Amino acid sequence: MNQKFGSRSIDDERKRIKARFIMEAGDFGLVILRKDVADFQQELELLKIKIAAYKDVTYQTFHDKGFRKLLENRFGTDAIARLFSEHDVAPEKSIVSSPT
């Protein structure tokens, strides 16, 4: 079985896990674990591994000199330099809603 790999597949995995294990609990935005907690935790750990692998591949790809040269030729050196400038890290998106 071929699996796609990338940001969209990560989002699809989050949605699949949420649909399988989480149920909205009324107007308060609470969630109830519908299935086995151990299975849920295992799914989350696997998702974390996939996210880490995706981040590693993405980092390696963007820092490959040949790929970077292609990007610079297509979009310009200044535009690519802005991509690689330092920024604060964005918080990771949780698949479980927290009550507010």
> Tens digit of pLDDT for each residue in 16-75?
888 888 777 777 766 767 667 888 889 889 888 888 887 777 778 877 889 889 888 988
3-state SS of the chain: helix, strand, coil percent to 5?
60, 5, 30
> pLDDT band at residue 91, thresholds of 50, 70 and 90?
low
Q: Two tokens at 28? A: 């308060």
Residue 95, pLDDT score: 63
Distance CA 50, CA 100 (A): 29
> pLDDT band at residue 2, thresholds of 50, 70 and 90?
very low
Q: Using CB atoms within 10 Å of the CB of residue 31, give its burial: 0 to 12 exposed, 13 to 18 middle, 19+ buried.
A: middle
Residue with tokens 């604060």: 88
